[in-house]
Amino acid sequence: MWIQVRTIDGSQTRTIEDDVSRKATIEELRERVWALFDVRPECQRLFYRGKQLENGYTLFDYDVGLNDIIQLLVRPDPDLPSTSKQTDIQAKPCSNSPPKVKKTPRVGPSSQPSTSTRDFLIDPGIGLYKVLLSPSLLK
């Protein structure tokens, strides 16, 4: 049997082909993922069909089959200091891959009108109603 492991963002997919048994434990799977993705087991969160795979269970317990995809979420390293003031400590990150940064456009306060000047639509479940607010009621 062989299974695929894909990062949660879909950027990397690797196949585990070497004698994967349905009786293999989740701990054994974490060791194989460590070898493939260079992510330590304590930094791995594995998901299959929306469920998080927990230690102490087997692939059979989660009904993982041939060519199924398990998703990998890399969580922050628990050994890293929680404050940024401790810069003297050298800690190994969970992954050697560079971090991905997504840039999102910022929306400033001037680009949207104030909420007090907008007309509101309210949906009580039986239709939409337009509510006009009087400036004298807002004071």
What range defines the domain where residue 62 resides? 3-74
In a domain, residue 28? The reply is yes
Query: Does residue 88 carry a pLDDT above 70?
Result: no
Which CATH number do you get for residue 57?
3.10.20.90
In a domain, residue 12? The reply is yes
More reliable by pLDDT, 77 or 74: 74
- Tell me what the mean pLDDT of segment 87-95 comes to: 55
In angstroms, the CA 50 to CA 47 distance is 6
Percentage of residues in the chain having pLDDT higher than 70:
55
In a domain, residue 136? The reply is no
SS3 130: strand
Q: Supply the pLDDT for residue 66.
A: 85
More reliable by pLDDT, 22 or 105: 22
Confirm if 4 and 33 have CB atoms less than 8 A apart.
Answer: no
If one counts the domains in the chain, the total is 1
- Tell me what the mean pLDDT of segment 103-110 comes to: 54
Tens of pLDDT along 37-51? 999 999 999 999 999
Closest CA to 100 of 13, 5, 8, 32: 8
Confirm if 76 and 90 have CB atoms less than 8 A apart.
Answer: no
Q: pTM of the entire structure?
A: 0.56
In a domain, residue 65? The reply is yes
In a domain, residue 101? The reply is no
> In the chain, helix, strand, coil percent, each to 5?
15, 20, 65
Mean pLDDT of the chain: 76
**C-alpha pair distances (Å), 114 with each of 14, 75, 110, 136, 138:** 49, 39, 9, 16, 13
In a domain, residue 55? The reply is yes
In a domain, residue 127? The reply is no
In a domain, residue 21? The reply is yes
- How many residues are listed for the chain in this entry? 139
